[in-house]
Amino acid sequence: MNYIVFDLEWNQSPNGKQYSDPDMPFEIIEIGAVRLNDDFEVTDTFHRLIRPEVYHWIHNSIRDVIHVNYRDLMKGVPFPQAVREFLDWCDYEYIFCTWGNQDVMELQRNMKYYGMLHLLPAPVIYSNVQSLYGLEFEGEESCRSLEHAIDFLHIDKEIEFHRALNDALFTAEVLKHIPFATIYNHPTLDVYQHPQSKKEEIHLDFPSFTKYLSREFVSREKTLKDREVTSTRCPICGKNARRTVRWFTPNNRVYYSVSRCVDHGEVGATLRIRKSEDDLFFADKTIWNATEEDVQEIRARREAMKAKK
């Protein structure tokens, strides 16, 4: 198994959001990657500058951060060539690793723009090193910056941040400090390529939780009325669990519930109703065997919501 730690830099409309291409709001202009083996040793690196096709000037804020000008990019290769070379370089058995969740999505969106999404079939499962860092060193998922993690772990900063290959190298160094058990037990399922039909709906069993992605619905209300969307099955035996805390949402972003399996105890669940690029809706559900602390936290959220009302 290879661990492909990659980072992307992208450009956006230099004239403001109103002039942005809705199919390509962020155009990838640089790919940097590090290949690690099973022992987390660096075996190779990959780097490509990409010649822009959509935005023909660099947004000022982008240029100030990555220190690349348009003349540099014109020496790059077309995106279709760069992404084919990147995927070939990844080899046949690998898992992506990135800092945060946006790079995997933007890679797919750029591939879709060029009619290449079939080269990266769904479901795309990867390791979010930013989230893993939070779980391991802060006790919960967090959104710390890469530089914060580098400083916390006392990793040398001999190269600059905000270039694709450099940030991939830094991310790889953070990954080396995270135990394999944490990496193995907490994969991330990307939802950019979500199901379009009932037949395509995704049910996946991970070491510490199960994941479900629904087909698309015309509204949030229709999504929440679907029995499969709101069902809660024990992640161990798969049997329906009896609801003890009904679905509720304190913020209209995440829904929570608690159920009980007669054989395996408390079952926690979260449900996110996501919106597609076509303004349709789909469900992203996670179910796990809950600890007493998990149950108390969900009940506390419900009570706090009631108090606000």
Q: What are the residue boundaries of the structural domains of the chain, listed by start? A: 2-185, 195-308
Block residue for tokens 């390509």: 24
Nearest by Cα to 296 from 270, 252, 266, 272 = 266
Whole-angstrom Cα distance, residue 83 to residue 48? Answer: 9
E strand segments, 131-218: 188-189, 202-205, 210-213
Predicted confidence (pLDDT) at residue 3 exceeds the cutoff of 80 = yes
- Residue range 105-140, pLDDT digits in tens: 999 999 999 999 999 999 999 999 999 999 999 988
Q: Is the dihedral of CA 103, 6, 187, 198 positive or negative?
A: positive
Structure tokens at 185: 């037990």
Least confident interval from 58-72, 78-92, 233-247: 58-72
CATH topology assigned to domain 2-185: Nucleotidyltransferase; domain 5 (3.30.420)
- Give me the chain's average pLDDT, please: 94
Nearest by Cα to 129 from 143, 110, 118 = 143
- Residue range 52-67, pLDDT digits in tens: 999 988 877 776 667 7
Task: Return all residues near 168 (Cβ < 8 A) that are at least 6 apart.
Answer: 5, 6, 7, 32, 33, 34, 45
Whole-angstrom Cα distance, residue 114 to residue 308? Answer: 48
Model pLDDT, residue 65: 63
**Would strands 188-189 and 202-205 be described as parallel, antiparallel, or unpaired?**
unpaired
Model pLDDT, residue 308: 81
Structure tokens at 41: 């040793």
Instruction: Determine which helix (DSSP H) or strand (DSSP E) holds 146, and give its type and residue range.
Output: helix 146-152
Predicted confidence (pLDDT) at residue 79 exceeds the cutoff of 70 = yes
Model pLDDT, residue 64: 64
Predicted confidence (pLDDT) at residue 279 exceeds the cutoff of 90 = yes
